[in-house]
Amino acid sequence: MDVAKALQFIEQVTENADKVQQTTLAEILSQNGGTEYLKRFNLDGPDAFKSKVPIVTYEDIQPFIRRIADGDRSPILCAQPISDFIISSGTSGAQGKLIPVNKQEQDIRVLQASLAHAILKQHVKGLDEGKSLRFMFIKPDRRTQGGLVARSAITRFFKNDIKNRADAMTTTSPYEAVCCEDIFQSMYTQMLCGLYEREHVLRVGALFASGLLRAIRFLQLNWQNLTHDVRTGMLNPRVDDQGIRGCMARVLRPEPELADLLARECDKDKWEGIITRIWPNTKFVDTIVTGSMSQYIPTVDYYSGGLPVTCTQYASSECSCGINLDPFCHPSQVSYTFMPHTAYLEFLPQDPDWSGSELVDLVNVEIGKEYELVVTNYNGLYRYRLGDKFRVTGFHNSAPQFRFLARRNVLLSIDTDKTDETTLQGAVESAYKVLNESKTVVADYTSYVDTTTIPSHYVIFWELLLKDSDGWPSGEVVEQCCLAMEEAMDAEYRRCRLADKSIGALEIRIVERGSFEELMDYAVEKSSAAFSQYKTPKCVQLKPMVDLLNSRVVAAHFSPSPPHWTLEERL
């Protein structure tokens, strides 16, 4: 889509945001009013929608989704046939969530991506003349019992649409490499292509910052082999995917001078600014660093030498609705303008005093206030609590702009994993069972994500209470506790850990007796809360609190091996 057309479209829908929302709702209801789900509410028009249709969570609609997944083709949630499912990484027990989708929804996603790309083009002259080194990965497809394909949103996007995408022509990653399920082969090939094209690369990125940092780490570990391939023009035999080998035959050529230059840069002790050293014409880093990804901003800055970072879109399995109209703003200032044509969007106020049952319409949200997004979309979600929380920062015409705050209940997240308090508690209890065999109990615990390692890893701080003086658990026992915790994490965590290797081994750091009391003293001093109100946070994020605990560590142990995970667990 050309820039002028895209900007015109954005202006048009945002100037009439309310009207577009009403039309969107009317269209969804006229298409889907006859579905089993909606018929139950006897809706006589969009007005009745708000009063009669309940606000739901995934668990409420899971029985309907289950039937579709099991093969029931009747119009249960949606009149148009459900073509497939998106597997969401969101927290919903151990299984992840199955989100039904159809063609219409896919068209909206593609349009959103084109709009976001047009906005980038507006800001970067010659964007499409330079190359994009974007590390993209898919996950294996699954099939539900009823035979429908289920895959992550990004896998679906790449498999269905990457060839048609506006920016597909400019990416250095061959389609065969992006669609290879073997992460090593995929990453190796994408990196190799990026190295060959070093002079032409204008932006470097990945969907999320965690992915980009993995790519840098990969280069750190594999640069000798990669530069060998550049030197000889021969592909590493570990890459044996025939599709990749076929397309790489057209790319590979011996370039000893390039290999020398790359090897010189990679061999240096300091990797600060490596992105611009290897890809000297990079103008910006294209990756999401909002929400839980903001923890990676300092590391991304370190490797990029402080290049601007663009976060262009907010999207989830349930809907793709946010575009950043000012992609070169500072990451801390990123706001996503919610496009009113994408879905019917309502907002649950996060104000503790709010007791009404009415949700707030898109155009009526107030600047400075916080809300959880509630979505009604074309593929059968009605007033669905998505779980993402936002703060309103302004408006573009009459469409509000939101700063992403957090996923509801998520304590720890490194990549696509999202661990909530219940899961963490369950995991800690599994470790207690291992520990019970020694003469120790855990007096208190908390957690955080250590981003100083790549991949990052979960750290659990434990303060131990010895039942008798010789009861200190051995290193091996604590390692088994780490593993027990990992085994008790949800499927997405274990998949990231075992298959993607995007999460490092979980670590337990045992702190001195009294450390948690000091933590409490610090927290109470810094807030107006009374001692009696204090509860140990199950995750610490503030640097002084993390530093305090780290300065009291007496022993640290890692999980000795990854937890189990099988594809079958997902559905």
Q: Which two tokens stand for residue 410?
A: 């998520």
Contact code string over 83-102 relative to ligand AMP, x by CB under 6 A: -----xxx------------
Q: How many CA atoms lie within 13 A of 268 on its CB side?
A: 12
Q: Is 288 in the site for ligand AMP (CB under 6 A)?
A: yes
Question: Which ranges in 271-392 belong to alpha helices (H)?
Answer: 274-278, 297-304
Q: Which two tokens stand for residue 180?
A: 């290879």
Pairing of strands 149-151, 84-88: parallel
Q: Kindly state the number of chain residues that form the binding site for ligand AMP, as judged by CB under 6 A.
A: 16
CB closer to ligand AMP, 416 vs 515: 416
CB closer to ligand AMP, 318 vs 479: 318
Q: Is 337 in the site for ligand AMP (CB under 6 A)?
A: no
Q: Is 212 in the site for ligand AMP (CB under 6 A)?
A: no
Find the shortest distance in angstroms from Cβ 212 to ligand AMP.
Answer: 14
Strands (E), 138-249: 142-143, 149-151, 201-208
Residue 570: exposure state from Cβ atoms within 10 A (0-12, 13-18, ≥19): buried
Query: Closest Cα to residue 281, out of 171, 132, 170?
Result: 132
Find the shortest distance in angstroms from Cβ 390 to ligand AMP.
Answer: 10
CA 507, distance to chain mean position in Å, is: 22
Report the C-alpha gap between 467 and 469 in whole angstroms. 7
DSSP state of 145: T
The 3-state DSSP composition of the chain as helix, strand, coil percent (nearest 5) reads 40, 20, 35
HEC assignment per residue over 42-95: CCCCHHHHHHHCCCECHHHHHHHHHHHHCCCCCCCCCCCCCCEEEEECCCECEC
Residue nearest to ligand AMP (CB): 291
Q: Is 315 in the site for ligand AMP (CB under 6 A)?
A: yes
Contact code string over 489-528 relative to ligand AMP, x by CB under 6 A: ----------------------------------------
Q: How many CB atoms lie within 10 A of CB 319?
A: 28
CB closer to ligand AMP, 155 vs 172: 155
CB closer to ligand AMP, 376 vs 438: 376
* DSSP assignments along 481-538, one per residue: HHHHHHHTS-HHHHHIIIII--SPPPEEEEE-TTHHHHHHHHHHHHSS--GGG----S
CB closer to ligand AMP, 413 vs 480: 413
* Residues 140-169 contacting ligand AMP, CB under 6 A: 153
Q: Is 279 in the site for ligand AMP (CB under 6 A)?
A: no
* Residues 415-434 contacting ligand AMP, CB under 6 A: 416
CB closer to ligand AMP, 379 vs 416: 416
DSSP state of 122: H
Which of 218, 404, 448, 516: binder of ligand AMP (CB under 6 A)? 404
Find the shortest distance in angstroms from Cβ 294 to ligand AMP.
Answer: 8
Q: Is 314 in the site for ligand AMP (CB under 6 A)?
A: yes
Contact code string over 364-403 relative to ligand AMP, x by CB under 6 A: ------------------------x---------------
Which of 211, 291, 349, 380: binder of ligand AMP (CB under 6 A)? 291
CA 556, distance to chain mean position in Å, is: 28
Find the shortest distance in angstroms from Cβ 431 to ligand AMP.
Answer: 27
Contact residues toward ligand AMP (CB under 6 A) are: 88-90, 153, 288, 290-291, 311, 314-317, 388, 404, 407, 416
